[in-house]
A and B are shown apart, each in its own frame.
Chain A
């Protein structure tokens, strides 16, 4: 096996899935941004023409990544990380503000978004730190370091403000969980979210009653042999109630009205029909239009370039964050399910690849890649189909935009490059 060249060793299935997703994405960008059917697809003044150019750039990036020494990434991971942290810090001084967020460096021909770059470097740095022979994931101190690696860029990105990108970094916890980070942290996180949402929806009193019933059920249905640790249970219960009590304060004082409106819409908190309608038409306008567009596609869709809502430009930001709604309208249920299945299959394939790595670093980085791609996919499509509140993150390989496409591609191909070398020098 090791005798074959790079092209023999690389995982062609992943590349094929990647290319297919990029192609479908571009077709939909073409459909959403086409205004004059007489222009050439290579007309770089059009958005679809530009995207084609970015795809070309990404291809150049792939070639570049594939011909770099494999060790390069592992060896320089820390330096990359430090550089990207510096770049993020530099934004406070030199950043360029676009659409209210100071997230870019103006490079003249290109706007560089360091938060995109930092996703790659943080994944690399985390993998490098965790794969270090001296790091022990069970050690609290080491857990703390790992957390700092993840949370530092997230904290720097938050005040840009770009909470969406910030949120992405939390996905790297999956790497930690894979490597033995205790799963009950995940449990605590889920409980926190659940408590937060249920308190907003039903109020502290009902949450307390619910928790009480739950505790009671534990006692009723426990096996005779098992002993319930009474004290921790009481502590958990008390903390939960206290947390629930604090939710109201946080909700009213920490969040701003626009955030509250999003929650109100998402959890149907607003009981006044008229006010809810008002919110739906303002804050929820994008989601409403995108849901309607998807719904109107039906089973077979309206056909390529036939989407009336797409043509009429009814869904805002349709070529970027809301690109999936154009799939829904023009290609229907068949199209949307195909895309979902392609993504799912793609992710599962990447997990399979990650698990076959002999090198810890490669596996951990692989998990980082998957986590980052997955959370983009989850938040983006969840938002477009109205399951999640509006959080602006792009759909990997689909959404219009150079930085996004190029860094997602780099992320993927660094991993595929590592994978192609797994038998050669895996330690």
Chain B
């Protein structure tokens, strides 16, 4: 025992040491440590962020210089604080606070003392800078917008946070990163790749030459410019039309799937999220939880589609062969589900497909819908077929666009109803609302526009996208250039399109014709409810409209969704017709209508549920 004591202690110590060393050098070791090594300083060379152009090559987003006042706390010599503060335009207390924050972050690394000085401040400060040791001015590049529209499409950039730094080793504190929209989706293309130069330092932070003779240094890679499919003029025009209204508009070029405009109301000027006022503005936008300006309604709102959905039910019925365009249903100013009567505004009478569409007859489509699932032995099977057809139009699922956010909408199938009502505890009466686009179906304006594009193309669509050209390569991800077929055969589209065209000629939108352009469209009026302080109340209907034009060789397909805009043609229809005219003709002939749409607001509708007083809905007030 006593002879072995020391030997065992030696062995024990050996094992302990090797264990600890394994932990340090094998477990805790990370191969990529050049950046955290205090002995190596990385000096970055940032390439300019890529410009963004619209579909016609017009500049939308460029860059502007900005100047940050930086400080390296331990190099600071005693200074005339008062003079310095007045030069910087800050008070002494906040100067002291910022200096403390910088020192806590790191005494030897630079921190931003005052971010993003204006050019004037910079000019004033620059000549005095040499009196203040430890401070210097760093030039940075900020986004510059040539438009005050398309904030939701373009997105914004902001400084990387802790999470970004952990998730992506590329970023270094203080760098900028795309947060939403195109800036996020094409972040890597726009930002390029920063160059880096490694310098070996000693512990006094003095340079003692290049690290590894510069073998690891890299040159910056320029960010590429992006051409997007947005039509800047159309986008700006659409946003002006949305003044005072909430809702979303998406316009697509059917023959390519290119998104021409993606408008959300209310919106904000993208320049608000640049520069010194950024965080103030951001909080203001972000905490406006009632009008939600940062919530892109064109891709995130999921209202029931309303009557435009009828066109799809007609197509499915034709494809399934359960009726032909001449098949007639009688409308009793409504229709019966069991003993319950559901209303219809079409005026009543005998309806075939053509008049069923242009008069938007609920009874006709309830009948059509019944025929579809009655074709199959069980409702389950009927639903399954119906669901499959609907989903082939890009509904009830993510479209796979290059927009970094979105919603799937909903096409309720068997699984949905089983979950909703319990297995088998639902039947045709439960689901009949789907015939007219009410009830459980839901779609984003983007999905509605895409669906319209598929009708315009007579049976296929391209995945909607916003990228037109990266750099000037001209090559695009094949998923945006390959057509996606719907399950409906080409020949079934003509009768439906005829009905949609007659919507303008004789139907629900006959007063919004555009002289000289043949348009096919469909109105929608969507009942909706809101819950305020736990009380469910019905609000004025949403105004919905889908359209494409010209009917032969369509150039534009769009969906307009205006919250609480009442019936389909009232707001959505007018706005759609103006946008079509603007895009196809380039100018507006109907100046009165234009003026009215630009000026009218729906604010009086939006305050109703929050007024605390009883209110009427669906009022005819112009």
27 contacts between A and B (CB under 8 A): A174-B6, A180-B2, A295-B24, A295-B25, A296-B29, A296-B37, A298-B26, A298-B29, A308-B40, A309-B37, A309-B39, A311-B208, A312-B38, A312-B208, A313-B203, A328-B21, A328-B24, A333-B21, A340-B18, A348-B11, A351-B6, A351-B7, A374-B13, A385-B24, A386-B24, A387-B16, A387-B20
Contact with B along A149-182 (1 / 0, CB 8 A): 0000000000000000000000000100111100
Complex: how many Å from CA A343 to CA B14?
9
Q: How far is the CB of B107 from chain A (nearest CB, A)?
A: 10
Residues of chain A contacted by B10 (CB below 8 angstroms): 344, 347-348, 351, 374
Instruction: Determine which of A332, A344, A367 lies in contact with B25 in the assembled complex, contact meaning CB atoms within 8 Å.
Output: A332
Instruction: Determine which of A294, A298, A314 lies in contact with B31 in the assembled complex, contact meaning CB atoms within 8 Å.
Output: A298
Closest-by-CB residue of B relative to A333 is B25
Residues of chain A contacted by B1 (CB below 8 angstroms): 183
A11, CB-defined interface residue at 8 Å: no
Q: How far is the CB of A253 from chain B (nearest CB, A)?
A: 33
B369, CB-defined interface residue at 8 Å: no
Are the CB atoms of B5 and A174 closer together than 8 Å? yes
B202, CB-defined interface residue at 8 Å: yes
Are the CB atoms of A308 and B211 closer together than 8 Å? yes
Instruction: Determine which of A296, A298, A371 lies in contact with B6 in the assembled complex, contact meaning CB atoms within 8 Å.
Output: A371
Complex: how many Å from CA A377 to CA B6?
14
A74, CB-defined interface residue at 8 Å: no
Closest-by-CB residue of B relative to A176 is B2
CB contact list, B292-331 vs A, under 8 A: none
Instruction: Determine which of B9, B25, B211 lies in contact with A336 in the assembled complex, contact meaning CB atoms within 8 Å.
Output: B25
CB contact list, B1-59 vs A, under 8 A: 1-3, 5-7, 9-11, 13-14, 16-18, 20-22, 24-26, 28-29, 31, 33, 37-40
Are the CB atoms of B25 and A312 closer together than 8 Å? no
Complex: how many Å from CA A296 to CA B2?
40
Contacts A178-B5, A337-B21, A378-B13 given: A309-B38 contact, CB under 8 Å?
Answer: yes
Complex: how many Å from CA A306 to CA B18?
23
Are the CB atoms of B6 and A308 closer together than 8 Å? no
B388, CB-defined interface residue at 8 Å: no
Residues of chain A contacted by B200 (CB below 8 angstroms): 308, 311-312
Q: How far is the CB of A417 from chain B (nearest CB, A)?
A: 21
Count of interface residues, chain B, beta-carbon cutoff 8 Å: 35
Contacts A296-B37, A374-B10, A378-B13 given: A312-B201 contact, CB under 8 Å?
Answer: yes
Are the CB atoms of B22 and A333 closer together than 8 Å? yes
Are the CB atoms of A314 and B203 closer together than 8 Å? yes
Residues of chain B contacted by A178 (CB below 8 angstroms): 2-3, 5-6
Are the CB atoms of B37 and A298 closer together than 8 Å? no
Residues of chain A contacted by B40 (CB below 8 angstroms): 308
Instruction: Determine which of A314, A343, A351 lies in contact with B39 in the assembled complex, contact meaning CB atoms within 8 Å.
Output: A314
Contact with B along A353-391 (1 / 0, CB 8 A): 001000000000001001100100110011001110000
Contact with B along A43-83 (1 / 0, CB 8 A): 00000000000000000000000000000000000000000
Residues of chain A contacted by B7 (CB below 8 angstroms): 348, 351
A297, CB-defined interface residue at 8 Å: yes
Instruction: Determine which of B6, B14, B20, B25 lies in contact with A297 in the assembled complex, contact meaning CB atoms within 8 Å.
Output: B25
Contact with B along A305-319 (1 / 0, CB 8 A): 010110111100000
Complex: how many Å from CA A298 to CA B40?
17
> How big is the A interface, by class?
35 or more
Residues of chain A contacted by B3 (CB below 8 angstroms): 178, 355
Contact with B along A324-337 (1 / 0, CB 8 A): 00001000110011
Contacts A381-B17, A387-B16 given: A177-B201 contact, CB under 8 Å?
Answer: no
Q: How far is the CB of A380 from chain B (nearest CB, A)?
A: 11
Q: How far is the CB of A10 from chain B (nearest CB, A)?
A: 23
Residues of chain A contacted by B201 (CB below 8 angstroms): 312
Residues of chain A contacted by B11 (CB below 8 angstroms): 344, 348
Q: A309-B39, A336-B25 are in contact. List 18 more A-B contacts (CB 8 A).
A: A177-B5, A178-B2, A178-B3, A294-B24, A294-B25, A296-B29, A298-B29, A306-B212, A311-B200, A311-B208, A312-B203, A333-B22, A336-B21, A340-B18, A343-B14, A374-B13, A382-B17, A387-B20
Are the CB atoms of B37 and A295 closer together than 8 Å? no
Are the CB atoms of B6 and A295 closer together than 8 Å? no
* Most A Cβ at <10 Å: residue of B3, B37, B40: B37
Complex: how many Å from CA A237 to CA B208?
61
Are the CB atoms of A385 and B17 closer together than 8 Å? yes
Are the CB atoms of B26 and A333 closer together than 8 Å? yes
A13, CB-defined interface residue at 8 Å: no
A136, CB-defined interface residue at 8 Å: no
Are the CB atoms of B203 and A386 closer together than 8 Å? no
Closest-by-CB residue of A relative to B201 is A312
CB contact list, A273-303 vs B, under 8 A: 291, 294-299
Are the CB atoms of B26 and A386 closer together than 8 Å? no
| Ranked 3 nearest A-B pairs via Cβ | A312-B39, A308-B39, A333-B25
CB contact list, A216-235 vs B, under 8 A: none
Residues of chain B contacted by A183 (CB below 8 angstroms): 1-2, 5
Q: How far is the CB of A279 from chain B (nearest CB, A)?
A: 15
Residues of chain A contacted by B13 (CB below 8 angstroms): 344, 374, 377-378
Contact with B along A177-201 (1 / 0, CB 8 A): 1111001000000000000000000
A341, CB-defined interface residue at 8 Å: yes
Residues of chain A contacted by B20 (CB below 8 angstroms): 385-387
Residues of chain A contacted by B212 (CB below 8 angstroms): 306
Closest-by-CB residue of B relative to A346 is B10
Q: How far is the CB of B12 from chain A (nearest CB, A)?
A: 10
Closest-by-CB residue of B relative to A339 is B17
Q: How far is the CB of B101 from chain A (nearest CB, A)?
A: 14
Complex: how many Å from CA A367 to CA B9?
13
Complex: how many Å from CA A341 to CA B17?
10
Q: How far is the CB of B27 from chain A (nearest CB, A)?
A: 9
Complex: how many Å from CA A180 to CA B1?
10
Are the CB atoms of B25 and A328 closer together than 8 Å? yes
Complex: how many Å from CA A355 to CA B37?
48
Contacts A298-B31, A340-B18, A386-B20 given: A314-B6 contact, CB under 8 Å?
Answer: no
Are the CB atoms of A341 and B21 closer together than 8 Å? no
Q: How far is the CB of A188 from chain B (nearest CB, A)?
A: 15
Complex: how many Å from CA A55 to CA B606?
90
Q: How far is the CB of A396 from chain B (nearest CB, A)?
A: 14
CB contact list, A109-145 vs B, under 8 A: none
Complex: how many Å from CA A294 to CA B24?
7
Q: How far is the CB of A373 from chain B (nearest CB, A)?
A: 10
Q: How far is the CB of B210 from chain A (nearest CB, A)?
A: 12
Residues of chain B contacted by A179 (CB below 8 angstroms): 2
Complex: how many Å from CA A336 to CA B301?
62
* Most A Cβ at <10 Å: residue of B9, B24, B26: B24
Residues of chain B contacted by A348 (CB below 8 angstroms): 7, 10-11
Are the CB atoms of B26 and A340 closer together than 8 Å? no
Closest-by-CB residue of B relative to A294 is B24
Instruction: Determine which of A295, A313, A340, A351 lies in contact with B29 in the assembled complex, contact meaning CB atoms within 8 Å.
Output: A295
Complex: how many Å from CA A340 to CA B10?
10
CB contact list, B182-209 vs A, under 8 A: 200-203, 208
Contacts A295-B24, A297-B25 given: A340-B37 contact, CB under 8 Å?
Answer: no
Complex: how many Å from CA A385 to CA B26?
14
Q: How far is the CB of A344 from chain B (nearest CB, A)?
A: 4
Residues of chain B contacted by A355 (CB below 8 angstroms): 3
Complex: how many Å from CA A374 to CA B9?
10
Q: How far is the CB of B123 from chain A (nearest CB, A)?
A: 38
Are the CB atoms of B26 and A299 closer together than 8 Å? yes
Q: How far is the CB of A102 from chain B (nearest CB, A)?
A: 29
* Most A Cβ at <10 Å: residue of B20, B22, B33, B212: B20
Complex: how many Å from CA A311 to CA B200?
8
* Most B Cβ at <10 Å: residue of A312, A328, A343, A374: A312
Residues of chain B contacted by A371 (CB below 8 angstroms): 6
Contact with A along B429-453 (1 / 0, CB 8 A): 0000000000000000000000000
Complex: how many Å from CA A128 to CA B574?
112
Residues of chain B contacted by A351 (CB below 8 angstroms): 6-7, 10
